[in-house]
């Protein structure tokens, strides 16, 4: 297994997937989720801001800084419309355009979506965009998916809010069929496809799909149909119970493992000894207590802590430097190719 890198200029691109690598060797999954310990990711934009729209000052530089600092992954948001009642426009840029740019401006950090709202996009468009980013980045894409939680978006796209859970399942099935098979015959409420193929195919035999929240789905369905679970920040005991249930449902999947990640808002205070104070879906806390909290999260089985800096009162560049010096060395990225360091992800044989 090799480290994921941006394809070299002039090299032929295996768009038809003739030399696809086994999913069990997925380097970006191994970097993000080595298994048995926790890594750290960052959610875009890497900036603290009070209103709904970030300034995006130095946004690429912050992501490059995070890559150098030892963040395992960076996650972009899918927020097509500004809803003032939600108060957060994400990184503003379209996630696929932004990921294409990041593919060229980074070298090894895992690139993820957190998350693509599947019911708002036709699965062929999602599949084409995802496979393109995966190829351009050298196989670094992890696809976080969601049902959608902003009601105003659905009528704008001509979609029924009440039917989003079923459309989500239909979209995910369609997405996987066209990427994991050549010239597939698809009969779906979302379209009919025969005698054609979708290119490019991804670098590995499939693109990892991770569910965000419950998405109005049964947890067993999530365990059976996705490669991991991205969740929020409930109290520690509740999260431990969530993880225990997740492990029970995924333990028998062919000897592999499916990661469980937690997204948390962080306001790292200047005082390293400041005790934690709860904020929306996260904490305002000093470095010492934050490190203790991270160890507790690792102990209950969280595979990655995904940090959202929106509520940071300090410059995020300064926060990243402090994390790089005092925190991230305790939770380094996985090392693709390091024998035995990470548990093998589940190899699905077909649908």
CATH of the domain at 42: 3.20.20.30
Mind listing the pLDDT tens digit for each residue in 281-324?
999 999 999 999 999 999 999 999 999 999 999 999 999 999 99
Report yes or no: 22 and 204 within 8 Å, Cβ to Cβ. Answer: yes
In terms of phi and psi (left: phi > 0; alpha: psi -120 to 50; beta: otherwise), the region of 216 is: left
| Cα 301 to Cα 27, 214, 246, distances in angstroms | 21, 19, 10
In a domain, 220, yes or no: yes
Q: Domain of 138?
A: 26-330
Q: Is residue 12 domain-resident?
A: no
Is the pLDDT assigned to residue 92 strictly greater than 70? yes
pLDDT of residue 56: 98
Is residue 2 domain-resident?
A: no
Q: Does residue 338 belong to any structural domain of this protein?
A: no
Flag whether 214 is in a domain.
Answer: yes
Beta bridge partners of 305: 40, 262
Report d(CA 324, CA 170) in Å as an integer.
42
Residue 118 has pLDDT above 50, yes or no: yes
Residue 257 lies in a domain: yes
Q: Is residue 62 part of a domain?
A: yes
Number of domains in the chain: 1
Give pLDDT tens digits for 150-165: 999 999 999 999 999 9
Residue 255 banded pLDDT, cuts 50, 70, 90: very low
DSSP assigned state of 178: H
Name the pTM for this structure.
0.94
| Dist CA 265 CA 232 (whole Å) | 10
């Amino acid at each position: 297994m090799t480290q994921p890198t941006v394809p070299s200029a002039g090299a032929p691109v295996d768009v038809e997937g003739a030399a696809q690598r086994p999913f069990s060797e997925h380097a970006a999954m191994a970097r993000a989720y080595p298994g048995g310990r926790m890594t750290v990711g960052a959610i875009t934009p890497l900036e603290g801001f009070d209103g709904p729209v970030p300034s995006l000052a130095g946004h690429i530089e912050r992501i490059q800084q995070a890559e150098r600092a030892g963040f395992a992954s960076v996650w972009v948001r899918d927020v097509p419309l500004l809803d003032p009642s939600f108060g957060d426009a994400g990184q503003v840029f379209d996630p696929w355009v932004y990921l294409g740019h990041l593919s060229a401006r980074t070298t090894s950090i895992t690139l993820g979506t957190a998350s693509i709202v599947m019911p708002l996009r036709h699965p062929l468009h999602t599949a084409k965009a995802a496979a393109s980013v995966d190829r351009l980045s050298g196989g670094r894409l992890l696809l976080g998916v969601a049902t959608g939680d902003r009601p105003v978006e659905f009528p704008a796209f001509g979609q029924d809010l009440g039917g989003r859970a079923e459309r989500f399942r239909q979209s995910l099935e369609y997405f996987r069929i066209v990427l994991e098979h050549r010239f597939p015959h698809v009969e779906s409420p979302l379209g009919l496809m025969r005698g054609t193929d979708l290119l490019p195919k991804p670098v590995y035999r499939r693109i990892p799909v991770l569910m965000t929240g419950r998405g109005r789905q049964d947890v067993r369905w999530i365990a059976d149909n996705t490669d991991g679970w991205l969740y929020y920040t409930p109290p520690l005991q509740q999260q431990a119970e969530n993880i225990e249930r997740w492990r029970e449902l995924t333990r028998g999947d062919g000897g592999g493992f499916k990661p469980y990640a937690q997204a948390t808002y962080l306001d790292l205070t200047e005082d390293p000894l400041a005790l934690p104070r709860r904020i929306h879906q996260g904490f305002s806390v000093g470095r010492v207590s934050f490190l203790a909290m991270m160890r507790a999260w690792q102990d209950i089985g969280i595979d990655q802590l995904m940090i959202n800096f929106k509520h940071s009162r300090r410059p995020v560049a300064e926060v990243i430097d402090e994390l790089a010096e005092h925190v991230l060395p305790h939770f380094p990225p996985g090392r693709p190719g390091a024998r035995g360091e990470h548990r093998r992800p589940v190899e699905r044989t077909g649908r």
